[in-house]
Structure 1
């Protein structure tokens, strides 16, 4: 029989314990643990959620990894074409991390209406383009449908729609400068099939999605020539390794760039969230641990006579220390339970009702995104429990210094 656990349960359930001097201190300790786990859950869920959301939005417009011609510069204006007949297209059969490859091409132009004009970039995509990403942000109309014939349907952003007053099913003129410096630009007439709003202003005010065949004709490319390829992977945490593997397997005249390399400033900013999360978790665990140490010392002081009696009956120091650690574990479990109920409730409310709003110009999202991961929740709870118990091992050592003879007389 585990008599230490039996006694710990009796101590916890006793009415004397609930009305003793240690009662308010224990309640403060439980409250500290509850608040700590709430803060940790919210910090991790919102921090990771924001990182994932921003990565998803960027990948919608750029893919996870881009394969382009080495001669291409960073501008969207000019691109040197590459052949679509590549060993890795349409499937990277020897890289299981790659889940989809799609060709693209871009060309800068100007949308002209009767009252206004706007400079944008036409992103041309093909039949095998994955619309699921951008489709999530569709707010009006429908997604374009591309076939073997050249389609005039395009997808524009809400920002462009509001600025120019272009609505779904409206037609508009778009002009492209000719490469031969001719005076008259190339003119194309497009029809708005749908309007999207990703909340990422940098992309929303720039990109119009249309048929890649327009860009091939404007640039006088062949049907098998494209601007580059967008590669999507299943595990973004290994994007650098996957990007290197892709670089090794593509033609020497081609280059591969990951999102981290394309947008270093954004991803350096996102890394700060990891530091903030670690700092907040450390502070919360430290505060919870200090409160539990205080509560344990009070419990030991309150039970000094009991400790003396147990020692007189032959209990070892470690046995008595286990008794109080069991008692402390129960208090930590209570704090974690209350904290998890409150924290997860708040997170699910935010996840489904988006109560907390953010400035999209600063955070690239309109509301605080939430990512609830079961393994992260378990890791936080187990980590808090283990660290608190480790911190309690030191103060529990005071039990070894209590003399049975003096403890029995203690008042």
Structure 2
């Protein structure tokens, strides 16, 4: 082994003095650019998944409980507040919060505009920590007063379409059908206390936040009736375990859904991004491997005289192959160091300055998000080195086909 390393070091020192020096530079750049692209792709896909998932979690929670129903309607059916269930959930270390809600379809009217909306009523237990970061104007009203709060929160898209600002007032109209079949109209005039923007247009264009007590009165519910529960886990990796626990504990007449079941379309789209990420990684690995295989073949062919001399002096094929594999590992490691520096620098620049901008209506974010996971980067480096060296065993086998007599005769 000492002999192999000694020869490999001598060869590496002389690499810039021959034609192979240019080939080695190209090989390093190929490794560096391939790894940099893999790092950026992984960071951006992770950023997309985490940012968009967080928006959905903030709006819907991690686990949703509602009353079982065969009807398709935006209006929730009433269910009683279950104190025993709330006490059970409060004692679970994996559950961060439980909030009640109720939804009701209505129309938002100003002097000049009319728009259909869904009012989501929330109570004093509203988990505002997950929603507050999406506020772009005003503030969240307090829902813990003795009387129903006279405020509501609109999305930015609704406010812009209806030309409303914080402090303005608008009227919410609701139409219900009574037992005799007659339609009754009720309304609530509320002040706009805040404006939010999640970037999820299918939600932003419909939902208005208000006090749940308005919906209770409009639906003639009791003070202890709600439309459902939204449960927040302490960490996203606990969502499915919490869902399974809640499903076992829940009343048999309740419908328990994880957020992945509640809104499958967006999560399916996010999972497709993982496939794109894998395709990019595979393509970049193929590019790096082709360059390294070509470079190693050139290095071997350029050193045929040295190979013949070493074999004539008694070196076996394994030792000679090891010399070139050590040289290849040196090229790969240097390329990875450069690639890590380029990839991480690009990620940090995007985090700091938001260089890449996106249409929010198509991608749910206005700036391409980046999430750097150093564990993933280490795995990418290990995989790149291991796969490259494994594939380089094939061209290095050319050493065994070079006979010392022939190589020395034509040198």
Q: TM-score range by the shorter chain?
A: over 0.9
What is aligned with 1:346? Answer: 346
What is aligned with 1:54? Answer: 52
What is aligned with 1:396? Answer: 396
What is aligned with 2:163? Answer: 165
2: CA distance, partners of 1:131 / 1:155: 12
What is aligned with 1:190? Answer: 190
CA 1:86/1:7 → structure 2, altered by over 3 Å: closer, same or farther?
farther
1:378-399: CA deviations, max 9, x gaps? 1111111111111101111122
Aligned 8 A contact 2:65 2:255 in 1 = yes
1: CA distance, partners of 2:357 / 2:132: 22
What is aligned with 1:293? Answer: 293
1: CA distance, partners of 2:304 / 2:80: 83
Aligned residue for 1:382, secondary structure, equals: helix
1:206-241: CA deviations, max 9, x gaps? 111121121122212222211111122345456445
Aligned 8 A contact 2:4 2:319 in 1 = yes
1: CA distance, partners of 2:361 / 2:347: 23
CA 1:209/1:237 → structure 2, altered by over 3 Å: closer, same or farther?
same
CA 1:20/1:144 → structure 2, altered by over 3 Å: closer, same or farther?
same
What is aligned with 2:331? Answer: 331
CA 1:320/1:96 → structure 2, altered by over 3 Å: closer, same or farther?
farther
Worse overlay, 289-298 or 47-56: 47-56
1: CA distance, partners of 2:3 / 2:389: 20
Aligned 8 A contact 2:177 2:184 in 1 = no
Alignment match of 1:67 (pick from 65, 68, 72) = 65
What is aligned with 1:33? Answer: 31
Aligned residue for 2:89, secondary structure, equals: coil
Q: TM-score, normalization: structure 2?
A: 0.93
CA 1:355/1:74 → structure 2, altered by over 3 Å: closer, same or farther?
farther
Aligned 8 A contact 1:90 1:101 in 2 = no
2: CA distance, partners of 1:383 / 1:349: 26
2: CA distance, partners of 1:114 / 1:257: 40
Aligned residue for 2:314, secondary structure, equals: coil
Q: How many residues align?
A: 408
CA 1:384/1:190 → structure 2, altered by over 3 Å: closer, same or farther?
same
What is aligned with 1:134? Answer: 131
1:172-215: CA deviations, max 9, x gaps? 22112234265542221212111111111111111111211211
What is aligned with 2:259? Answer: 259
Show structure 2 runs of 5+ residues with no match: none
1: CA distance, partners of 2:199 / 2:238: 26
CA 1:219/1:2 → structure 2, altered by over 3 Å: closer, same or farther?
farther
What is aligned with 2:153? Answer: 155
Q: Does residue 386 in structure 1 map to residue 383 in structure 2?
A: no
Q: Does residue 247 in structure 1 map to residue 247 in structure 2?
A: yes
Q: TM-score, normalization: structure 1?
A: 0.93
